[in-house]
């Protein structure tokens, strides 16, 4: 039997999902369920002066209509970076268009929705600050570390370093706000049993919900149980604590009925956050041979007046390339918009567009190949932190990717390659994202039926994390994969990494390894106390207990001892290595075709080569990078959340907010170096969840320039911007 580690493995829950047996949050239909429907504001700023709820309250099946004038009591949030500043309905303030200002609860979903439409609201409206470009002059430095960077000895300012550089480029780049749009909308089902609360809710971390609901509902955390094993995508918008969850729980408590609230697609645009707008100025200074001497990256991102999150677009420039002089400036502009929040590679997906575009502009000015410019400034030591990178093989990504893609065939003269009606261009960009490993606990149960169950709080937002539990469990226990199942997304399990920050596999996979050792020790202890292994100090080998020529599978042994199972829980610490800079790396090579009459840009080929340590599941890992690349293509060419001057999002639906469909995406060639990184953990796996999107938008823009000679510095790159 060979280990499944690193093979192409189907998700262990795949069959459950495609047969409808995997219950997503909204699929939990409990006895006596009532249905909530959110009422949202239709002005961008001001106060609610009155709400007429009589018609709604009197319509069929309605159980309650909660408003700021008939609120459910909630306590203040805790100030987490992903929270809004105020819980819903606790005051009459309207801070953005689409803010939750009411909850209607009825016997059926349709009754709740129809009644919600009958609520009439009077406002005292004020003009909102809802234009990012108009507000840009008011940008203010973020509170902590507004500037960061490094200067070479003897250099007194970044301006001096730029002035002393023989070749410089400087330009402004902007990116559109983007919305996560997971396929599965957020939903919460709240069930009270006495003073105990069970929540089925879409979340990237069940412990996150426990701690926040404990605070805002005023309930002991030990009395809150959160379950969310299956998710249809998250991308960051299922991390924060959004209004529907505490409202649904509080309504269920007050009504003495379980309540389910599901967000509409339109509400997903305003209630659960988005990726900020950005405006960035990048200045690069280099020697004539392309050696970077200065990087200055001034990033301004939008933030919401009513939420805590702040994006830092310039962060990407701190350590991606070697340069003796680097300065980044972090500013925000406050809008009366829905919350900005984390979205796949927060800050870095945005920042890499400007940095990778600027490098392409520098390469042109130097008369240098853009790949050669990256190779020249590739480094083994992080420029700002001065820490050596752990296991960096980016040079191999560049080399293998260029070869597979045929980069040497790139014509450096823009607009010179024509294929029928299409102008063809090539561009590239570097992928770079942090690779964390946090503390994590895992429980493993060895059962009398011969199976092993690996459990932890960890969520699987569609990434394949639960299958990582199974693969590493089977590998560590030396048993066939089909004997291992995962139990996850349950706040009652040992606490491990939430689904975010590209740290799940590094953290949780390592914990599975130590838990496997612990449960083997527990099994042997039990075996040594009973016949046939009593006092014989048996050993564990590939699922069998052995001593003196006697060998029994753990299932047979437990059955003979009349024990249902043995279990052990173990914790692996956060990465003890503080000496190295832990990142994942990669290179994207992109070919685009721009129609010479319509100027429609299409991506026609992509090769992505990733250096992310050991790959645990080749299939799911490839899927993760493909997802990142597709999201990057969406950001480059299509995605554009339109905030009107009124503060209303004009395209809060999947007809007006464009995302790539299959016809927009060519075959994606994704490869991994697969070199284990023993410094991050014994498992050697680094993060891949966010890596794939970083560098893609720049690579697409650079390819568009190569195809057309037109440099588009504003995302998305639409036909209009290519005229
Ligand atoms: Mo993600 S943006 O790490 O939730």
Burial of 529 (0-12, 13-18, 19+ CB in 10 A): exposed
Please choose from 179, 273, 346, 692 the residue to mutate so as to test ligand 1's pocket, defined by most ligand atoms within 8 A of CB. Answer: 346
| pLDDT value at residue 1 | 64
In the reported structure, the alpha carbon of residue 690 is separated from the centroid of ligand 1 by a whole-number distance in angstroms of: 7
| pLDDT value at residue 234 | 97
| pLDDT value at residue 142 | 94
Length of the chain: 723
Atom nearest to 234 CA in ligand 1: 4
Q: DSSP for 602-615, please give it.
A: EEEEEEEEEE-BS-
If DSSP codes are grouped into helix, strand and coil, which group holds residue 64? Answer: strand
In the reported structure, the alpha carbon of residue 554 is separated from the centroid of ligand 1 by a whole-number distance in angstroms of: 39
Residues 301 and 136 sit within 8 Å (Cβ to Cβ): no
pLDDT tens digits, 608-629 = 999 999 999 999 999 999 999 9
Q: Given pLDDT bands bounded at 50, 70 and 90, which one contains residue 379?
A: very high
Does ligand 1 have an atom closer than 6 angstroms to the CB of 346? yes
Give the mean model confidence (pLDDT) for residues 240-247: 96
Does the active-site annotation cover 690? yes
Of the chain, the percentage scoring pLDDT greater than 70 comes to: 100
In the reported structure, the alpha carbon of residue 202 is separated from the centroid of ligand 1 by a whole-number distance in angstroms of: 14
pLDDT tens digits, 390-440 = 999 999 999 999 999 999 999 999 999 999 999 999 999 999 999 999 999
Does ligand 1 have an atom closer than 6 angstroms to the CB of 149? no
Does ligand 1 have an atom closer than 6 angstroms to the CB of 236? yes
The residue ranges of every structural domain in the chain are 33-127+183-233+238-270, 278-436+578-722, 437-572
pLDDT tens digits, 318-369 = 999 999 999 999 999 999 999 999 999 999 999 999 999 999 999 999 999 9
Helix 696-708 and helix 618-637, axial crossing angle in degrees, nearest 10: 50
pLDDT tens digits, 554-563 = 999 999 999 9
| pLDDT value at residue 144 | 85
Answer yes or no: is the ipTM higher than 0.95. Answer: yes
| pLDDT value at residue 143 | 87
Does ligand 1 have an atom closer than 6 angstroms to the CB of 586? no
- The CATH fold assigned to 278-436+578-722 is Aldehyde Oxidoreductase; domain 4 (3.30.365)
Q: What is the CATH number of domain 33-127+183-233+238-270?
A: 3.30.365.10
Residues 640 and 176 sit within 8 Å (Cβ to Cβ): yes
pLDDT tens digits, 71-95 = 999 999 989 999 999 999 999 999 9
Give the mean model confidence (pLDDT) for residues 697-719: 98
The per-residue pLDDT of the chain, averaged, comes to 97
Picking from 357, 431, 34, 28, the residue whose alpha carbon sits closest to that of residue 202 is: 28
Of the chain, the percentage scoring pLDDT greater than 90 comes to: 98
- The CATH fold assigned to 437-572 is Aldehyde Oxidoreductase; domain 4 (3.30.365)
In the reported structure, the alpha carbon of residue 632 is separated from the centroid of ligand 1 by a whole-number distance in angstroms of: 15
Between CA 504 and CA 437 the distance in angstroms is 8
In the reported structure, the alpha carbon of residue 416 is separated from the centroid of ligand 1 by a whole-number distance in angstroms of: 40
Does ligand 1 have an atom closer than 6 angstroms to the CB of 501? yes
Picking from 250, 266, 234, the residue whose alpha carbon sits closest to that of residue 25 is: 234
Same CATH fold assignment for domains 33-127+183-233+238-270 and 437-572:
yes
pLDDT tens digits, 222-233 = 999 999 999 999
Q: State the catalytic residue, choosing from 13, 84, 565, 690.
A: 690
pTM to 2 decimal places: 0.98
At 525, list the tokens: 């202890």
Between CA 672 and CA 675 the distance in angstroms is 8
Does ligand 1 have an atom closer than 6 angstroms to the CB of 344? yes
Which ranges of 146-288 would DSSP assign to H, the alpha helix? 158-163, 206-217, 244-255, 265-270
Atom nearest to 342 CA in ligand 1: 2
| pLDDT value at residue 2 | 87
Nearest CA to ligand 1 atom 4: 236
Tokens 């303030």 map to which residue? Answer: 93
pLDDT tens digits, 574-589 = 999 999 999 999 999 9
Does ligand 1 have an atom closer than 6 angstroms to the CB of 102? no
């Amino acid at each position: 039997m060979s280990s499944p580690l690193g093979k192409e493995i189907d998700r262990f829950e795949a069959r459950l999902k495609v047969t409808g047996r995997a219950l997503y949050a909204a699929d939990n239909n409990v006895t006596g369920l009532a249905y909530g429907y959110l009422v949202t504001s239709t002005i961008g700023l001001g106060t609610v002066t009155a709400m007429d709820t009589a018609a709604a309250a009197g319509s069929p099946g309605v159980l309650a209509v909660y408003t700021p004038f008939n609120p459910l009591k909630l306590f203040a949030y805790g100030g987490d970076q992903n929270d809004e500043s105020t819980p819903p309905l606790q005051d009459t303030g309207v801070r953005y268009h689409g803010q939750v200002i009411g909850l209607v609860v009825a016997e059926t979903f349709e009754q709740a929705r129809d009644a919600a439409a009958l609520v009439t609201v009077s406002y005292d409206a004020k003009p909102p600050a809802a234009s990012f470009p108009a507000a840009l002059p008011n940008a203010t430095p973020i509170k902590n570390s507004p500037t960061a960077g490094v200067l070479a000895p003897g250099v007194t300012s970044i301006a001096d370093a730029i002035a002393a550089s023989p070749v410089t480029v400087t330009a402004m780049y902007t990116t559109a706000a983007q919305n996560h749009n997971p396929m599965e909308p957020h939903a919460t089902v709240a069930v009270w049993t006495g003073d105990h609360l069970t929540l089925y809710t879409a979340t990237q971390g069940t412990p996150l919900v426990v701690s926040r609901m404990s605070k805002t509902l005023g309930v002991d955390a030990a009395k809150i149980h959160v379950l969310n094993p299956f998710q249809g995508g998250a991308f960051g918008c299922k991390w924060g604590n959004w209004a529907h969850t505490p409202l649904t729980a509080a309504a269920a408590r007050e009504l003495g009925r379980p309540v389910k609230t599901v967000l509409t697609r339109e509400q997903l645009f305003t209630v659960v956050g988005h990726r900020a707008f950005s405006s960035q100025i990048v200045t690069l200074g280099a020697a004539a041979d392309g050696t970077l001497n200065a990087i200055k990256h001034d990033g301004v991102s939008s933030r919401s007046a009513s939420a805590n999150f702040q994006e830092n677009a310039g962060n990407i420039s701190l350590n991606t390339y070697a340069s003796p002089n680097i300065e980044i400036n972090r500013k925000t502009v406050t809008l009366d918009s829905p919350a900005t929040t984390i979205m796949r590679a927060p800050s870095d997906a945005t920042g890499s567009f400007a940095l990778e575009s600027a490098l392409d502009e520098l390469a042109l000015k130097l008369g240098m190949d853009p790949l050669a410019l990256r190779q020249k400034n590739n480094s083994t030591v992080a420029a700002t932190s001065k820490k050596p990178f752990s296991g960096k093989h980016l040079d191999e990504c560049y080399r293998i990717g260029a070869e597979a893609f045929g980069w040497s065939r790139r014509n450096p003269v823009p607009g010179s390659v024509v294929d029928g009606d299409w102008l063809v261009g090539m561009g590239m960009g570097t992928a770079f994202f942090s690779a964390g490993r946090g503390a994590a606990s895992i429980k493993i149960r060895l059962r009398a039926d011969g199976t092993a169950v690996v459990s932890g709080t960890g969520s699987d937002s569609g990434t394949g994390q639960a299958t990582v539990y199974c693969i590493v469990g089977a590998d560590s226990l030396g048993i066939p994969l089909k004997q291992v199942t995962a139990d996850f997304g349950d706040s009652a399990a040992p606490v491990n990494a939430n689904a975010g920050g590209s740290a799940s596999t590094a953290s949780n996979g390592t914990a599975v390894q130590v838990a496997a050792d612990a449960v083997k020790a527990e099994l042997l202890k039990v075996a040594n106390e009973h016949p046939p292994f009593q006092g014989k100090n048996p050993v564990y080998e590939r699922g069998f207990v052995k001593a003196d020529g006697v060998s029994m599978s753990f299932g047979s042994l437990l059955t003979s001892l009349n024990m249902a199972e043995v279990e052990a829980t173990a914790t692996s610490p956060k990465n003890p290595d503080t000496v190295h800079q832990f990142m994942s790396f990669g290179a994207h090579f992109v070919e685009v075709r721009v129609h010479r009459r319509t100027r429609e840009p299409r991506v026609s080929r992509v090769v992505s080569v990733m250096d992310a340590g050991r790959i645990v599941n080749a299939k799911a890992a490839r899927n993760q990078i493909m997802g990142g690349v597709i999201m990057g293509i969406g950001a480059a060419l299509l995605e554009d959340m339109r905030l009107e001057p009124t503060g209303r999002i004009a395209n809060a639906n999947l007809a007006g907010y464009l995302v790539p469909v299959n016809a927009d995406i060519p075959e994606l060639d994704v490869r991994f170096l697969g070199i284990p990184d023993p410094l991050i953990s014994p498992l050697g796996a680094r993060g891949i969840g966010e890596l794939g999107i970083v560098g893609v938008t720049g690579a697409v823009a650079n390819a568009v320039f190569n195809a057309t000679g037109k440099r588009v510095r504003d995302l998305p790159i639409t036909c209009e911007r290519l005229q």
